[in-house]
Every structure is written in C-alpha cells, then in structure tokens.
Structure 1
C-alpha cells in the first residue's frame, strides 16, 4: 500500500476529549434531551450534532427543540475544548514523522468548525493540517456514512486507497472503511465500549499508534 495521506479524527484521537464528553452527555445533555433516559454517549459517538438530533427524534422522544439542543452542545463544547481537553500524547512526534515522509495530513471530524477552531487556537495547531474537513463542509451524511472521508480525500487529490484514517469510534471506523481507506483503530481508556474490530489494526495508546504507522510506512518503502 502506497500511503499518501493520514487522516486524524478529532475527539479521542487529536485531543483527549472523549473522557470528558461521555459524562457530560450522560449526565447533563441527554437527560435534558430525551424523556426515556435510555440513550447513552457510547451509542451516539461519532455522530455530528445535527444528525444526532435527527437520530434522537427517530429513536427516542425528544424534550427540547433543535435550536436549544445545539445551544446546549455549544455551551458544553466551549468549556470542554477551552479548559478540559488536552492534546493526545505523541501527536507532535507523529506530525514530524509524517512531514519527514512528505505525507499529507488531514483532520476529519464530525464536530462543527467552531469547535475545531477552539482546539486549533488552544494548542497552536493552525497550519499543521493540509486540510480540515468538518461536518459543516459536506452536503451529505455524517459518520458512519463514508461521505466525509470521500470528500477529504478529494480535497487532497488523493485516492482513498492511498489514505490511512485514525479513528476511535465504531461509527468512525465504519466511515473510513466504507470510503475504501485503511483504518487504524485507536484504543484508549475512554473508548473501551467502542467496537473497533472492523479496523484493519488497533493501536492501544500513543506508542502503539506511532509504531504501527512507522511499520506501515516501512512496509510501503520495501
């Protein structure tokens, strides 16, 4: 496999935010949104906010309108990305390795661009990515549909088969694989409930992720 691009998901892959999102959704957002109380953060991981609201309407009885729902998520996101989330271990080393190999780097996320900018500003990441693709950018379905990854590959003018996607949710893995990309599942303590078995490989933590990417590039050059 000749690798021309690596695509990072944001939550749980670029920033250590999932361990904050899950309790905030379970304790503060979802109980105010649905009447049944049956939906959990694990069930909705990887969906963008607009698709999430549509999903909750279809599967559960909602108790607030879409405008209130989006405002509630925005309020939580502002605090999470500005104060709580941290950059994942080893990201700078991964960028250095990819730049040395002249591999394009993309950020592909179901989060809206206003949340992404909070992360870029906080960690000084403006200019790191060759392209950033958010849910706002596509006229199509969010993860687990492949649309966002297909769009990201197109913006880089790279065939999906020449891309590696790094994902930490079952929806994200499905999206990347359906787009025809090689997918590295990223396993952390925060996503132990996510089924990553459809990923081509699963890395348990930053060191394994770095080692697996290095091995893939070494194989690519052999």
Structure 2
C-alpha cells in the first residue's frame, strides 16, 4: 500500500485525540482524581506517561512503583471523565467531513472503555458514522502498544492487517499499529500537542506520515 496515497481495505481511527479533542480533558481528570487519593501527578506528567494507554496501564504503573491505587479509584475516574466530557468535549475540527467522504470501510479502536467511547461519539455528533464498529482495549488481553486491539479490529472487520490504515495520535498507538503490520499516520492536531513536538514524537515511534489538520487527510 502506498503510504502517501493508500487505497486501504480498512481505516481504523483511534478515538481520543483523533476523533475527539479529549486528551487534555482526560489528563486533567486523571491528575485531579489521583490527587483525591493522595497521589501527585501533573497534567503534563499524565500526558507523558499515559497518552494513548488504558486504565490498566495506569494501575500497572503504580503497582510497579509499589503504590497501588485504591479500590475506588477507577470508578471515580470514570465518573469524573464522563461528566467532564458531557459538558466540554468537542470533535476534532474537520473530522466529520473526512469520515463522511470515506469510501473504504472504517471503525474505531480505542484504549478507552466502551462507555467512554460511546459517550465521546454521542456528545460530538459522530456516533452515527460508526454504528457498532467500536473496538476497545476491554476486548483484548493486551492494550496498546501491543498489536492485539488493531489485529482484533481488523479480524472483526474482515480485513488484511497489511491493507489497513491506522490514524493515531499517541506513541503507544503508533507502535501498536506498526507491530500489527499496518500503515499508520500520526495526527497531531489535538490541543494536547499545542506545546509538544508531535511530529518528532510520532515519527520516531514509526509513523509513516504525520499531519496536523484533518483537511489535509489525503494530502501527501
């Protein structure tokens, strides 16, 4: 598949930071909820450590530090994120136009849980484009940067992984897509890349191309 002008059999979109501008909101919620449980983590540190990762990765990180998060942490985080999204979440500019014009089959593969993905797409008016073609880290044993989720999505969509194109905003997501044998384009148009060199980060992770505006989706 030509990496600049592909004719993919399947396009797989990450959700957070690609379809919806959620990453700064998510990191703010994570920082605030951890603080409620006596754990200090800045929004910037949350971005560096957990961008594109699942809540399992957060729990594992603190277990590895010998600082297990309390039992009530995950329900509290989920509640805080969903409330924040319901009031503030916006779609990535131009993404609805891109999706509406696609001819290839497409789906979502996200590290977030299905409730959060569903709410994100409902709040931003994107849900009707995807129907039930939503795949999440809950559905596989290993989340990103392992390839499991993308391979699962391709299998469910009956597509050859080598003929799939992934749109990702995180290093772990890019790594997962490459490990799955897929072409991956890095997207750095989310607000979380306002003060970070996303081009360098995602290129170093293996992205075949990096772009910053959805209006440039098909531009070489």
TM over 0.5: yes
Alpha carbons 2:62, 2:68 under 8 Å: kept: no
Deviations along 1:90-148, one digit per CA (max 9) or x if unpaired, are: 112111221xx2x111101010011112123223433412621011222x110010000
How many residues in Structure 1 have an aligned counterpart in Structure 2? Answer: 205
2:13 is aligned with 1:5: no
Structure 1 residue 34 displacement after superposition: 6.6
TM-score (norm 1): 0.83
1:25 and 1:87 map into 2 onto residues whose CA distance is 20
Residue from 190, 193, 213 that aligns with 1:205: 213
Alpha carbons 1:7, 1:105 under 8 Å: kept: yes
RMSD of aligned residue pairs (Cα, Å): 2.2
1:1-222 aligned at under 5 Å gives the runs: 1=1, 2-26=7-31, 28-32=32-36, 35=39, 37=41, 40-41=45-46, 42-58=48-64, 60-62=65-67, 64-65=69-70, 67-98=71-102, 101=103, 103-129=104-130, 131-138=133-140, 140-188=141-189, 189-191=191-193, 192=196, 195-197=201-203, 198-208=206-216, 210-212=217-219, 215=220
SS at match of 1:202: strand
SS at match of 1:70: helix
**Higher RCO (CA < 8 A, seq sep 6+):** 2
Unaligned runs of 5+ in 2: 2-6
Alpha carbons 1:6, 1:104 under 8 Å: kept: yes
1:18 and 1:121 map into 2 onto residues whose CA distance is 17
CA spacing shift, 1:35–1:91, aligned 2, 3 Å:
closer
TM-score (norm 2): 0.84
Structure 1 residue 24 displacement after superposition: 2.9
Structure 1 residue 84 displacement after superposition: 1.1
